[in-house]
Structures are given as structure tokens and as C-alpha cells.
Structure 1
Amino acid sequence: MFQLKRTLLTAVLTFSLAAAASAQTQTLDGVKSMPRSGISPIYSGNEVKGYILYARADKADRKNDNYHLDFFDQDLNKVSNITIQKPSGRYTLLQNSFNGTAFGLYFCNFKEGTLEIETYDTSLKKLGTKVIEDLSKGDKMMINQMVRSDGNTENTMGGLTLTPIADKGFVRNSYDGLMKGYALQMYDNNLNPKWRLTSDPKSKYYESFVIREVTDKYLVGTVLRRDGLMSKKFNSYMVAIDVNTGKKVMEAPVETSKTEQLSLSSFSFDVEKREFVAVGEYYKLDDKPFVNKSQGLYIKRFTEAGKLLGAKPYSWQKEVKAALPAEAKASMEDGFVNFTHSIVKGADGTMYIVAEQYKVVADGLGIAALALGGKASPTNGQIGNMLIFVLNPDYSLSTVKFYAKDRSKAMLPPGVGMMGAGLIGQVIKSQGDFDYQFLQRNSSNSLFNVVYINYDKEKGEATKKIVGNIAFGANGQFTLDKIDGTSTATNSFVYPAKPGYVMMVDYLKKQNQLGMKLVKLNI
């Protein structure tokens, strides 16, 4: 998330709001398909100021399909739209994103085996096209995986992402070699190459890079390093890259002494304090991060030069357990572990860590299928409750908020059950199987909203899809709002929206119709 200057987007939206009444709803006919990735919120600072929508429409002719490309403001007024034609059955949208001055659409061309990027300004005039043909073996493996899953791009883990850099362009993250390393390529808005950064080709290690955030100065991420492709022993590294030059300004292991055994869940940059913040879990010295169960949570702070400023541990059995309500303690005893979704800091210095519980359970049908020679997974994931850890400005643990929800399932691919808990959590996230949806906040960082889905299962009744919203912030109060999102739609999604709202989307495949509406939160 980034802070925008007064760009063309600001001018366009100002004109739109002055020229049109608040729509609050939109219905589009002739929509042939609509994945979740087809809609992306547009941010100005922390707040949603609009949406970009890309969806397949009616056929242009026997060989070509039409696609909607629509730009909406924060009230769902249509600002601009165009129709794009592409050869039928070849393209799948991997991602769309916005950097403040340009939209980036990232495609996979299955027939040609290429990746393609297109950029547009806010009037939806095309700025550039880039066809990427020199794909690594790792990229091709990811494309083949998507082909086998009928173009499903939401079940892929890592790689093939397009990250917006505020007003400057986009960074494409991909694999180098046979998933041995990573490759980052920066383009400007017209898709001219700016810089490229890759893993050391002489390194004996396998590395994967996850981009965590982009600030005005840094692209911040984490690197997982291991001895081999199938190795379960990971070392976590913190990396910061100058967005203008592509030069690494920091690369360091999260472990700062030989007496530590740590994993790295999140790495971010505190713009106000000008320091890096690492959050993860700690283990016994003879344990393995991501494999054995952790002993607790930690926070570490570093200068921009990488010097350690301070470290704070939070033991599950001591500090955390003492702050948990009884219901949360019961779920810990039941074997649930925590997956960190987001970490934010309020204007008053209070830090909030948003987590969701999960665990691995045996799947009786999967075990039976394996016994008969099948390929089903003998284990599956089970998703539990929501937790918010509240830390004081001095990083002492203030309280832990617990929000119970009905358990849901996550289907795990064969072999994943042999991984450690941390990596299984990453797989569940990559498949979109966590119930957490997103966190949104206002421009002053005084109000936050965590949105999640609960599949409410009352005995004797049909399952209801409940959208939960946890609101909290500077007033110290936590409120829970629930919206009945039960629908007969083919697909239904929830997205961030302007302050005080969420956007709910229903797609009706039989009617080829897409409905969008803003729903006010009770906060």
C-alpha cells in the first residue's frame, strides 16, 4: 500500500464525483466468467478510491472473445470503460494492479506458453504491451500447473506476481531456473525495463522471494533459503531493495545470535520511525522452524542499516496464554496453531497482529483412497478462529482478542502433510482457503477493520455465509458486526471499500450477470 500524490487518478475521481450521483450498486450483463482476481481495489493512501474490473464478455466473433475493462470510483460510478478483444480460449488473467498512475494487467497465454503484461492510464488508454517469452523452467512449471487446473490461478503458491510501485511502474516476480532462485524485473509504466535482480547463480542454495510491501523508498520482502528443492530446513532472511535502482540495501538473517531458532512471518518498514520490523515465531534450539511447533511469538526491530534495535519474545504458555479467554485456551489445547495475516500500527503507536488458527487433521476418505492406490491426500487442513494480538507502544502485550467461528476445511495437495506447520499455513493461504479476507484502515490509522467469512452451521439448517467485521482503533474499543452474505450466486466475493463499507459481489453464471453493491458496516 502506498501514499499517492495528486495524480491523474485524483483528478478523474474528483470529476466523476462532481458529475454523478452516488451509485452504490452496479449490475453488468453479458459477463461470461468472473474470478476473484478480476476486480482490484484502487487505493489513495490507506483508503479505497475506486475499482478496476476485468471480465470475459460475449464473443466478438468465432475466434475472439470480448473482455470488459471498467474503471469505477469509490461509489461504484463508472468512470471509464473499454472493450478488449483477445483470441478465444488462450488467455487467463493472473493479476491486475494499480500504481497511482497506471493499471497493469498480467496474463498467461496458455497456447503460446508466454506471459504478457499490458498497461493503461486512468482513461484506459493503452500505454504498453510486454510479451515475456524467455520463461524459466520454474515459470513453465507454474503455467503447466495452471493448465492442469483449468486456468485456476488462485491455487498457485508464490511466483508469477506483478507488484505496483507508486507512480513508477511494476515489478514482476518470477522463478530463476528450476525454482532454484528468484528473479525480480522492474518496468516503468510503458513497460520499458528499469532494473533486474536475481538470486546469485553460483549459490548452492534454493531461494524463494516473497514481496511483503512497497514504500516510497523500499521494496521489502522475505527470502526462504534451503539446501535443496525438497529440503524442509529453511533459513529466513530479511531483504530491502531500493525501488529506484534495484540494489539491495539490506539482506540479513532474522537470527542475530547462535542461541536463536526463528521463523519469519512478516517483515515491514515503519515509515514514521524509519526502522524495519520483523515478526515471527521462535523454537527450541534442537527444533526446526516450520516443522516443529513453536514456543511463541517474537518481534525484532532493525535500523535502516540492519542494526538490531530490540527484540521481544511472547511465550504461548506464559504471556499469550495468560491473556487468552478460556475459549481460546481450549482451541490451543486442541492443537491449533496461528497463521499471521497482517500487522498494522495505529497512530498512537499501538500494534495489532491479526492471526487465524489452523491445524492438520487426518482425512479418512484420503487414507482409504491411498490404500486403494489412489492419489488423494491423507491429511487436510482445518481452519479455526480469529485472533488479534494488541501490543502497547513499548511492544508489551496488552491483550489478545478472540473471535470464534465455525471450523472450515482446506483441501491439501498430496504430500503437503509431510511439511511443517508453517509451510502448510503458506499452502492454505496460497489456495485461498483461510476465512480471513482483508484488513482495511482509514487515512489517519485511527480505525481498522478486519473482514472474514464464517460458514455458520446451525443444526437442521442450511449453512449460512456470514461476513464478519471486527472494528477497532484509537478509542480502544473492539466491535463485531455480522452481515448475512448467504447467496445462490455461482460465486460471491467481498472486497475492501471506502471507509465504513465493504463491497459485496455476486456472479450468476447462468444469467451471465455480475452484481456489485456497497454495504454499510455497523461501526
Structure 2
Amino acid sequence: MQRLQTVFTFLLLLIATASYAQTQTLTGFSNFRKKAMTPIFEGNEVKGYTMFYHADKADKRNDNYGLDFFDENLQKVKSVMFPKERYYSHLLRSAYNGKAFSFYFYNSRKKMLEIDVFDKSLNKIATKQFPKLSKAELSVALQELQTPGNGDNKPISGLNIYPVPDMGFVRNGYTGMMKGFLLEMYDNNLNLKWTYASDEKSKDYESLLVNEVTDKYVLATIARRPNMLSKKLSFSMAAFDVVTGKKLLEMDVESDNSQQLSVSSFSFDDKKSEFITLGEYYKPEDKVLVNKSQGFFVKRIGLDGKENSAQFFAWEKDVNPLLPQEAKKSLDEGFVNFVHKIVRGADGRQHIVAEQYKVKADGVGIALAVLGGGTSTAKGVIGNMMIYTLDADLHLEKVHFFEKDQTECILPPGSGFYGAGLIGLVINMNGGFNYQFTQEENSQASFNTAYMNYRRVQKSKYWEKTLVNIMYAGNTELKTDKIDVTSNKETFSYVYPAKPGYVLVLDSQLQEKKLEMKLVKLNK
């Protein structure tokens, strides 16, 4: 992807100030959600932020929504307002593709979806409405509205919109009564570029989860079952051409004759023009999520769908000798890895940023389900952070282990039928992991990864929160920096990537109805 030209150069000429804010206090916010703030990247580095919020009344029937633009030093550059129908307009998702912002709404009175698109200088450039929704889409929209603010029990696929770098946005949909899936790609002016839908003649029920969208491909996991109530699922990884919508390849990678494979990551390596799958492997007779996996694997697949290489790293032989004793315990307890990010350094090394998780039965959920009052019978348990470093020849060079307190998250209805890798993707979509972000410098010589550690305060319902930042600076040793971001019952703290050497900490103070933002310098 070509280096983006930033809008800040000419916008900053419009304001007669040389101030570098570093902090910012905003008033009038009675509530705030983390996803309301979106970092803006130029290459790999943060160059600013947008903040989306529910503002004041526009007229008798509509409320204003605000969109603020901040530079990398938290100097406010521009604000715009646009109206939406009061009580019935619900923001589902927002996305930024490097040239445009999109905001995806559901109007519960009109039973209609709507997308608004703004350019980088916050001029509104397009609006599109979707009034004819399938019964399945209406059902999923209702589930979206019933989802608590913390994301628990969000429908597995949901109604999502994904940014296509520079070019537009992809949205997902459903056909029939959840019998098939739909993908549509729109340019930045919301002109429809292509549509891909499940085969109407197929006897299978198909659902799709998008893993990644690049400037070339939409990468996704497809799950199939013979009927709506069947627990027998098969999984495949698919790649669609982002320009034409054509399905380029589909691979069954969950199993073969010698072992079972559980894929947790499916991505594209632009440098080598190869698809990369990562996951864990099991004995043929093992039960995934019940038996301990044998190790993890990395496969590289060409554009023709043929496997170019495969590396398998066994826990006992390859990984355990590189681990401290406390790390071995979590592997023995059956934790598996979800891959958040693969960082490819200028030195040829690849760093796999992963977080452990496992599934356990939810006793309360099981009891409610038996009594007809509940649906979720499983919880996700979130474990430690791991960074696996591979050398330029993809040999395992080092394993970095970062111990943290365990947390839990509720799994959506039906997710217990999915494989380990797909459950990890569901947990990630629902915000269940403690991982926050990974920042890379444009030189690719260094990066930092941030995660949150939550510790329950004794005899209290509140948590101590510590932001842990892992820093890599061109060698095999990693350093950590810790920042206390503990919130009280009236304050909630959130962290975001920032300009090199900093993180952004935002405190939402509900009682005083204000937001305090500050750039915190990291210790290197």
C-alpha cells in the first residue's frame, strides 16, 4: 500500500497556533465507549485521532452526532455535527481505511441499515441506506441491540463493516434464515463494486467470519453444517479478490490424515505474496479444547492455493526448552494461543504476538439452559501473553513469556460448537482478550505491544488495571514498561496507540461528565 499523504499539513495551516497540547479535557460526556476514539495512521505511525460521540438535540426528532479531529499531540483541528433520528439510531460499527471514515447505523423504527462516509478532512461525501433486509439480518440486528455495552453475547458474526485500505469498505450480510452469507464491497463514495453470496442451491448452512482485509484480499473463515441445528461443522479458509469479489481459493486446513489442525490466524504476507496460517495441532483421535495440543504450526500457501512450506513446533521438543517454568504450567493446563499480530522486522525476523485462552463450562449457564432460561454454557478464560520469534528461515529462535492474571468472558450462544481457532476469533471480536494494540515504526526496526492486566481488588467488585507495554528495539531481548490505569466506580480508563514513544490514556469521568486525554511517555 502506498504511503498515505496526511491531511494534517494543510489543516494545521487553518489554525493560528503553535501549541502542542499533549493533554486535552472535554466536558459534557455522560458516557463513552472505547471504540468512539479511532487512531489515524500514516504508514505504521499514529498521526492523529477522530472521536465520535452522541451530542445535543438537533431538532424535535433528531439528535446531533459529533465527530472531532485531533492531531498527534491532541490538538483539536476540526469538529463536525450531523443529525440522526432520536431514540432509533444505533451505531453498530465505525471504520477508517486511510482515506475515509465510515459509520454504520441501524434504525430500529425503519428497520433499516445506513452508512455515512466522511473524507479525512471530515467533509461528508456519501450516505447509503439499506431498507430491504433479510429476515436473518433483522434477527441479527435485534441481537446487536440487545448486546450489553461490554460486548458479552454479541452474535458470532454480527453486522460488520471492514475498511479496504484507501479503496472503500466491505460489509457482511445474511441470506435466508441464516442459511448463507453475503459480502458487498463499496468504494469511498458508496458505489457498489461487487457482491458475493453463498450458493442458493447449496444444501449446507454457511456462515462466515472475516479474518483480515488488505488492499488485495478479503481473508475469511467459512463454517458449514448440514442443517441449522447440526453440531457437525466443517471449516475452510477462503480468499476473495478485494477488487472483483471473485473467490480465489478455498482450503480445508482444519484436518488431514495425520493430525488435526486448529487455525487461529489467517493473513497475507505482501512481501512474499503468500498466505500464512498459524494454529495448533492435535493427534487424530484428540478432542480439540479437551485434549492438550501437541504444538503450533506455521504454513505458507501460494497464490495458487498450494502449500509452499510448513513448520511444526512441538511443545515438548521445541518450545518448552525455551520457556521459564511458570510458562510450562499454562501449557499443561490446556491453554491455546490466539495470534493477534505478526510483526515482520527489517532484520528478517518474524514476531508472533499471541495471547492464551481456553474454554471452560459455565455452571450457571448450564443450569439456566436446563431450566429453559439461558443459552450460554461456556466461558472463555484468558491467560498469558506470548511472543514467538522466528528467524529469517522461520526457525523458532526464542519464546518470550509475560505472565498476567486470568480473566473470563462469556461466549455467544452456539460458539461452543466451533473449533478452538474460531472460538479465539469470536473472543477477539467480542473484546474478550486483554491485548490492546501493537505499534510498529515505519523503519520496521522496532515495535511495541501493549496489553492490560486486570487484578480483582479484595472485598470489592472493582479491578486494578495495569497497562503493560512490551518493547522490542532491534535485538532479541524485550523490555516492559508498566502504567497504572486503575479506575474507580466513577472513572473508566482506556489506552490507545500514539506517536512513537508514547501511549494515549483517556479517562472518562462519568460523575463530572468529562473526558481527560493525555499522552504518556514510555520508558525505553
Whether the 8 Å contact between 2:144 and 2:158 is mirrored in structure 1 is no
Closer, same or farther in 2 for the Cα pair 1:228/1:178, shift >3 Å?
same
Show the 5 A alignment for 1:474-513. 474-488=474-488, 489-513=490-514
Count of residues in correspondence between the two structures: 521
How many Å apart are 1:98 and its aligned residue? 1.8
Could you give the per-residue CA deviations for residues 187-235 of structure 1, whole angstroms, max 9, x where no partner exists? 1111111111122222233333333333333333333333344444444
Whether the 8 Å contact between 1:292 and 1:420 is mirrored in structure 2 is no
Match of 1:276 in 2: 275
Match of 1:217 in 2: 216
Tell me how far apart the structure 1 counterparts of residues 471 and 195 of structure 2 sit (CA, whole Å).
Answer: 41
Closer, same or farther in 2 for the Cα pair 1:366/1:165, shift >3 Å?
closer
Match of 2:129 in 1: 131
How many Å apart are 1:36 and its aligned residue? 1.9
- Which is worse superposed, 414-423 or 237-246? 414-423
How many Å apart are 1:54 and its aligned residue? 0.9
Match of 1:149 in 2: 147
- Which is worse superposed, 121-130 or 247-256? 247-256
- TM (norm. structure 2) is 0.90
Tell me how far apart the structure 1 counterparts of residues 286 and 200 of structure 2 sit (CA, whole Å).
Answer: 30
SS of the counterpart of 2:65?
A: strand
Match of 2:35 in 1: 37
How many Å apart are 1:105 and its aligned residue? 1.0
Q: 2:63 aligned to 62, 65, 83, which one?
A: 65
Structure 1: gaps (5+ residues): none
How many Å apart are 1:168 and its aligned residue? 1.7
Corresponding letter in the other structure for 1:507: S
Could you give the per-residue CA deviations for residues 318-342 of structure 1, whole angstroms, max 9, x where no partner exists? 2122222100111222332322222
Structure 2: gaps (5+ residues): none
Match of 1:80 in 2: 78
Could you give the per-residue CA deviations for residues 437-476 of structure 1, whole angstroms, max 9, x where no partner exists? 1222111222121111111347689742101111124222
Match of 1:456 in 2: 455
Cα RMSD over matched residues?
A: 2.8
- Which is worse superposed, 80-89 or 217-226? 217-226
Could you give the per-residue CA deviations for residues 344-383 of structure 1, whole angstroms, max 9, x where no partner exists? 2212221122222223345555566667775375543322
Match of 2:321 in 1: 322
Whether the 8 Å contact between 1:343 and 1:351 is mirrored in structure 2 is yes
How many Å apart are 1:281 and its aligned residue? 1.9
Corresponding letter in the other structure for 1:246: G
How many Å apart are 1:252 and its aligned residue? 2.6
Tell me how far apart the structure 1 counterparts of residues 439 and 182 of structure 2 sit (CA, whole Å).
Answer: 30
Corresponding letter in the other structure for 2:452: I
Tell me how far apart the structure 2 counterparts of residues 367 and 153 of structure 1 sit (CA, whole Å).
Answer: 20
Whether the 8 Å contact between 2:300 and 2:307 is mirrored in structure 1 is yes
- Which is worse superposed, 225-234 or 349-358? 225-234
Corresponding letter in the other structure for 2:497: P
Match of 2:343 in 1: 344
Tell me how far apart the structure 1 counterparts of residues 236 and 300 of structure 2 sit (CA, whole Å).
Answer: 14
- TM (norm. structure 1) is 0.91
Show the 5 A alignment for 1:141-180. 141-149=139-147, 155-180=154-179
How many Å apart are 1:421 and its aligned residue? 4.1
Match of 2:101 in 1: 103
Q: Does 1:120 align with 2:118?
A: yes
SS of the counterpart of 1:386?
A: strand
Corresponding letter in the other structure for 2:52: Y
SS of the counterpart of 2:203?
A: coil
How many Å apart are 1:311 and its aligned residue? 0.6
Whether the 8 Å contact between 2:466 and 2:484 is mirrored in structure 1 is yes
Corresponding letter in the other structure for 1:444: S
Could you give the per-residue CA deviations for residues 17-48 of structure 1, whole angstroms, max 9, x where no partner exists? 99542112222222243222211111111112
Match of 2:472 in 1: 472
Whether the 8 Å contact between 2:231 and 2:417 is mirrored in structure 1 is no
Could you give the per-residue CA deviations for residues 297-329 of structure 1, whole angstroms, max 9, x where no partner exists? 111112222222111111223212222210011
